[in-house]
Chain A
C-alpha cells in the first residue's frame, strides 16, 4: 500500500526539471557510508490484509460487558455525534490554525470549547488544551512557581499516583522541591516559602474534599500561596460546586470523560483554566475573538502568542506546541450534546448509582467502605478476599475494580470501585453477586 501519485514518466519529467539524472542524486549531500543499503522490514500490506492483521491483534485484548474500573480513565456513554463531528475532514485533517482566515471553523470551535469549560468551571480563562490531566497538573505546578517566584510545592495526599510521578519528573527538571503531606499536617507545613498547594478533589480514593475549608486554611496561613485543584473525572461538575466558586487559582482536569474513548489511556485531554491575573503566565495556545482590520466582521485568531515557544523560544511559558485540539473538540461536542439537563442528570446518576453499590456492599459480610467523606463515582472498599472478588468479576464478564496495592503496597485487601451511569442495574446486580460469592468463599474457609 502507498499514497504516492507519480508514475515513472512523471518522476523522470520532474527529475529533468530539477536538473538531476536520478532520485539518488537528490541525496548527494548524504555521505555514501551513511546511505542505508536496505530497510529490513516486511513487505507492505493491502488494506484488507492490514485490517485482518490488526483485528486479530486487537482480539488479544479483552472487552468486558461492563466496567467497575476507573482510577483516571472512565467509561461514560459517548453520543454518536461526537465521533461524527471530529471525523469531518475540515477538523481532523487540519493543522494548528496559523492562517486564521482559512481556519475560522476550528478557531471558533476551540473558542467555544474555551467558553464551555469556562462556564462549567466558573474560572476566568481556559486555554486551548494540554496533553492530559497529569501533564496539565505538572504545568500548573511550574506556572505557580513562576508566578510566585518560589520553588517549593505541597501536594496533598490523594492525588492520582501517576500524576504525582509526572509532577515529580517535571519538577526535577527545574529544581522545584515538593512534599506530599497528609491533610492533618498541612497547616504545619504551610509558610511563605510555598508557591502552591496542589490537591485533587474528588481525590484518587474517591473523597470529595471540603474545598471551602481547605482554601481558607491555606489563605489564612500563606496568603500568597496559589491553590491548584486537579480532577480526573469532571462530569461531577454537573452537580458539584465549580472551582471558580472556591477561589481556586489554577484548575486542571483530565477531560477524557467528556466524550473521549478510553483507548488504553490515550489520547485524553488536559483541561487547564486559571484566574485572569495569571493569564500571561499560562502555558499553551489561546484563541481570542477580534475584528477584521478593515472591516466590520468579527473572527477568531490565535492570540497572546508571545508566551509561546515558536516566538519566545527558551523564554516561553512552556514548550508545548501540538496539543490535543481534536480531543478538545470532542469534549465540546459532548458538553453541548448533553447540555445543562444532560450533564446534571449524568452527574446525579453517578452519585446515585455509586451510592447504591456502596450501600449494598456494606451489607455483605467482610466488606467495609473506607471513605469517611462524601464520594462521587469512586470509593474504597476493604474486601474479605480481593483476588476472589477479581476472579468472580471476570467470570461475570465485568472489568474488575482496581486493586489499590498496585500503587500503594501497604494498602492490602482494598479495591477502588468505580460506578458510572454506564453500569446498568443488571451489571450492578452482577457485581454485587460477584462480591457476595467472594465473601461466601472466604467465610467458607477458602
Chain B
C-alpha cells in the first residue's frame, strides 16, 4: 500500500540550513578538550529542511484541522469559546514574553498575578489563589492534596472521598493520585445528589469530603447545593468545586457562596485562553481563608512599596510545578477579565445559558433528552430512539461531514449513548440554527439512509479510522 501521508521528515534536502545559527564569534577549541568522545553522539537522525517547505507543510496541516475559528465547537464540558486576538498580542509583549522566572526585576509580573488573584476572589467568593497548576486536572490534584494535608494536620484519618457518578473522569483519577479511595455517589432521577446518601457516608467518619461540579455534567444546577455543603461541613468535611463548568455561573452565582472550600478554574475554558489543541492550559486553585496557608508556595504579598514573595509556609503542600505556573496563559486570562469587566462577565454567564437552552429546546423535538428541564451551560441527549441502530458515534462522525465539530460523546457515563452539547456564549443564533438543521437532517438520514451515517464521515481528509487496529498494534512514530 502506498501511503497517502507525507511526514515532515520526508521533506529534507541535502543542502543544509543555516538560517537560525548565529555566527560563531569566539575562538573555538578542540571539542574533545571540553567533552570526551565517549559522551558524544554518533548520529542525529533529523533531516535538514528548507524553511519554505516547513511553512507550507504546516499551513497545509492546519487546514486539515477544525478550530473554534472554523465554527461551532460544541464539545460539552470543554467550553470552546472564541479566543480574543488581543490576548495573543498582550501575552507576547516583550516584557512578559522575555522575562526569566528567577529574575529580580519582576514587579510587573508579580503585580499581575496579585491583581488577578484579587479579581478571582471576587468572581468566585474564595479568599486566596495559587496559579501554579498547569491545567484543570493539575488543579484538582493540588486541591485534593490540600484536603489531605488539612486532615493530616488535624491528625484525622480520612482517606475516602465522595464523587458523583456524573463527575468528570479527572475527579476520581486526581483523588486517587492524592491517595484517596473513591466512594461513588449515584445521582437521583433528577440528576442531583441524594442527600441521605452523602449523610450516611459522612457518618462513617473516614470521609474527607466531596468533589462536585455544579452545574454538573448534565448541565443541571443542583438545587440542594447548600444542603449538600452543609452536610459535609457538619461532619467536618471539605467541599471541592470542579470549576470546569464555571462559565454559566459568571456574575450569577459564586462557588464560595454555595459553600465550597476549594475550587479550581480552567482558564482555557471559562477565561477564553486558547485550547491550543489540548494545552497549554492553566488551572488556578482558590481556597477559603482557613486553607490559604496550605496553598503551594511562594505566595505573593503586597506591601506598601512593592510585591514580595514569601516562600512556602509550614502548612503548604509544597510545590506542584516549577516556577510560577503557565504565566503566558495567566496573562491572557487577566486581559480577558479586564476587557469584559463586571457587566461583560455576567453577560457571558447569561448568554452561555441562553444558547444552551435554545439548542436544548430545538433538539429535543427529535432527539431523546433524558433530563428534560432548564439547563445551564450544557445538556445531554441520548441515543434512545435513533432509528436503524445508528449509534452516537455514527451521528458524531456524520456531523463532521457537514463541516462542523461533534459534541462530547459517550459522556457522562450515566447517560447511555450520550451526546453532551455546550455551545458557549460566542455562537450566534444563525450558527445555533445551522447546528439544529444539521442535527435534524442527520436524524432524517438515520431513518432513510442509515448507511450514510454508519460509514461516515465521507467529506473529511480521511474516512473513519480504525481505533482497534491502532491500539492492537501501536505505531507511535516513524
Contact = CB atoms under 8 A, between A and B. Distances in A.
B339 A45 contact: yes
B453 interface: no
Shortest 7 CB-CB distances between A and B: which pairs?
Answer: A265-B101, A265-B323, A44-B341, A326-B276, A60-B108, A90-B62, A105-B65
Contacts of B334: 54
A240 B141 contact: no
Among B145, B169, B319, B457, the most chain A Cβ lie within 10 Å of the Cβ of B319
Nearest to B1: A296
A352 to B, nearest CB: 5
A44 B176 CA distance: 41
Given A100-B465, A336-B46, A374-B35, A131 B101 contact: no
B251 A294 contact: no
A243 B428 CA distance: 52
Contacts of A128: 278
B362 interface: yes
Contact of B46 (A36, A119, A166): A119
A336 B335 CA distance: 33
A112 interface: yes
Interface stretch (B14-22, B383-391, B438-446): B14-22
B97 A322 contact: no
A79 to B, nearest CB: 5
Contacts of A286: 474, 476
A314 B182 contact: yes
Interface residues of A, number: 205
- Chain B contact residues (Cβ within 8 angstroms of A): what range? 35 or more
Given A73-B323, A106-B277, A241-B39, A51 B463 contact: no
23 contacts: A6-B428, A31-B223, A35-B253, A39-B345, A53-B338, A61-B99, A90-B62, A91-B65, A93-B274, A102-B405, A120-B46, A162-B323, A172-B318, A262-B97, A290-B475, A310-B169, A319-B138, A325-B278, A327-B276, A343-B46, A374-B34, A421-B21, A425-B26
Contacts of A71: 102
Interface string B8-31: 110010001111111011111101
B261 interface: no
A440 B61 CA distance: 58
Among A15, A54, A84, A110, the most chain B Cβ lie within 10 Å of the Cβ of A54
A160 B323 CA distance: 11
A118 B257 CA distance: 49
B296 to A, nearest CB: 8
B22 A323 contact: no
Interface in B174-212: 174-179, 182
Given A210-B39, A242-B41, A266-B322, 11 more contacts: A61-B95, A97-B277, A105-B61, A133-B322, A165-B319, A166-B321, A295-B463, A312-B169, A342-B18, A342-B48, A344-B44
Interface in A65-121: 67, 69, 71-73, 75, 77, 79, 81, 83-106, 108-112, 114-116, 118-120
Interface stretch (B77-85, B233-241, B284-292): B77-85
B348 to A, nearest CB: 8
B425 A115 contact: no
Among B7, B328, B341, B477, the most chain A Cβ lie within 10 Å of the Cβ of B477
Given A296-B1, A299-B462, A36 B251 contact: yes
Interface stretch (A17-25, A192-200, A362-370): A17-25
A103 B463 CA distance: 12
Contacts of B455: 294
B476 A288 contact: yes
Nearest to B224: A31
A70 B379 CA distance: 48
